[in-house]
Structure 1
Amino acid sequence: MAEKKKRMSVYSVLILSFFFIIIIGTILLSLPVASFPGKRPSVIDSLFIATSAVTVTGLVITDINYTFTLFGKTVLIILVQLGGLGVMTFSSVIVLFLTHKIDYTAKKIIQKDLNYNTLFNIQSYIKNLIKIVFLIEFIGAFCLFFVFIKKFSFLKAVYYAVFHSISAFCNTGFSLFPGSLSEYRTNIPINLIIPMLITLGSLGFTTLNSIYTLLFPKFKSDKKRIRLTLTARLSVIVSLILIILGTVLTLLIEMSNPDTLKNFVFHDKLLLSFFQSVSIRTAGFQTLDLIHMRKPTLIFYMILMFIGASPGSTGGGIKTTTIAVITLGVYTTLSHRKNIEFHKREISWGVFNRAIAIVFISIIYIFVIVFTLSYIEKNQKFILLLFEVISAFGTAGLSLDITPVLTPISKILISLTMFLGRVGPLTVAMALTMKRRKKGTYSYPVDKIQIGC
Structure 2
Amino acid sequence: MNIQETKEYLKKLSPSRKLILGFLLAILIGTILLMMPFSLNEGKNLSFISSLFTIVSAICVTGLTVVDTATVFSPIGTTIIIFFIQLGGLGVMTFSSILFLATGKKMTFHERELLKEERNADSSGEIADFIKKLLFIVFTIESIGAIILTMEFIDQMSFWKALYFGIFHSISAFCNAGFALFSNNLEGFKSNVVVNLTIGYLITLGGIGFAVITSFIAVIRNGVDRFNLTSKMAILISIMLTFGGMILFLLLEYSNPDTLGDLNFIQKILASYFQSVTLRTAGFNTIPLGNLRDATIFISCILMFIGASPGSTGGGIKTTTFGIIMFYVIGIVKKKENIEVFNRRIDWEILNRALAILVIGITYVAFIITCILVVESFPMEQVVFEVISAFGTVGLTLGITPHLSVFSKILIIITMFVGRLGPLTFALAIGESKNKAISKYPKENILVG
The TM-score bracket by the shorter chain reads over 0.9
1:4–1:436 contact (8 Å) kept in structure 2: no
Mapped to 1, the partners of 2:46 and 2:73 lie a distance apart of 9
Mapped to 2, the partners of 1:367 and 1:340 lie a distance apart of 29
Q: Partner residue of 2:155?
A: 150
Larger mean Cα displacement after TM superposition, 443-452 or 272-281: 443-452
The superposition leaves residues 49-88 of structure 1 with CA deviations (integer Å, 9 ceiling, x where unpaired) of 0000000000011111110001100000000000001010
- 1:173 aligns to 2:170 (yes or no): no
Mapped to 1, the partners of 2:49 and 2:140 lie a distance apart of 36
**What residue identity is the alignment partner of 1:141?**
A
**What residue identity is the alignment partner of 1:150?**
D
Q: Partner residue of 1:388?
A: 386
Mapped to 2, the partners of 1:99 and 1:175 lie a distance apart of 36
Mapped to 2, the partners of 1:173 and 1:394 lie a distance apart of 12
| 1:174 partner SS | coil
1:195–1:275 contact (8 Å) kept in structure 2: yes
CA RMSD after TM alignment: 1.5
Change (3 A) 1:318 1:3: farther
**What residue identity is the alignment partner of 1:181?**
L
TM-score (normalizing by structure 1)? 0.95
Q: Partner residue of 2:440?
A: 443
- 1:361 aligns to 2:366 (yes or no): no
> How far is the alpha carbon of 1:8 from its aligned partner?
3.6
**What residue identity is the alignment partner of 1:273?**
S
The superposition leaves residues 220-245 of structure 1 with CA deviations (integer Å, 9 ceiling, x where unpaired) of xxx24x63111111111101110101
> How far is the alpha carbon of 1:118 from its aligned partner?
2.2
> How far is the alpha carbon of 1:3 from its aligned partner?
12
Mapped to 1, the partners of 2:104 and 2:14 lie a distance apart of 22
| 1:258 partner SS | coil
Q: Partner residue of 1:289?
A: 288
- 1:125 aligns to 2:130 (yes or no): yes
Q: Partner residue of 2:344?
A: 345
| 2:345 partner SS | strand
> How far is the alpha carbon of 1:256 from its aligned partner?
1.0
Q: Partner residue of 2:328?
A: 329
Change (3 A) 1:67 1:3: closer
Structure 1: segments with no counterpart, 5+ residues? 218-222
Equivalences for 1:73-92 in 2 at 5 Å?
Answer: 73-92=78-97
Mapped to 2, the partners of 1:13 and 1:44 lie a distance apart of 24
Q: Partner residue of 1:414?
A: 412
Equivalences for 1:238-387 in 2 at 5 Å?
Answer: 238-377=237-376, 379-387=377-385
| Aligned-pair identity (%) | 46
Q: Partner residue of 1:47?
A: 52
4+ aligned runs moved over 3 Å, structure 1: 2-8
1:8–1:431 contact (8 Å) kept in structure 2: no
1:201–1:313 contact (8 Å) kept in structure 2: yes
Change (3 A) 1:110 1:48: same
- 1:188 aligns to 2:186 (yes or no): no
**What residue identity is the alignment partner of 1:443?**
K
2:279–2:394 contact (8 Å) kept in structure 1: yes
TM-score (normalizing by structure 2)? 0.96
Mapped to 1, the partners of 2:9 and 2:71 lie a distance apart of 49
1:4–1:435 contact (8 Å) kept in structure 2: no
Give the total of aligned pairs: 443
| 1:384 partner SS | helix
> How far is the alpha carbon of 1:5 from its aligned partner?
7.2
Q: Partner residue of 2:24?
A: 19
Mapped to 2, the partners of 1:118 and 1:330 lie a distance apart of 29
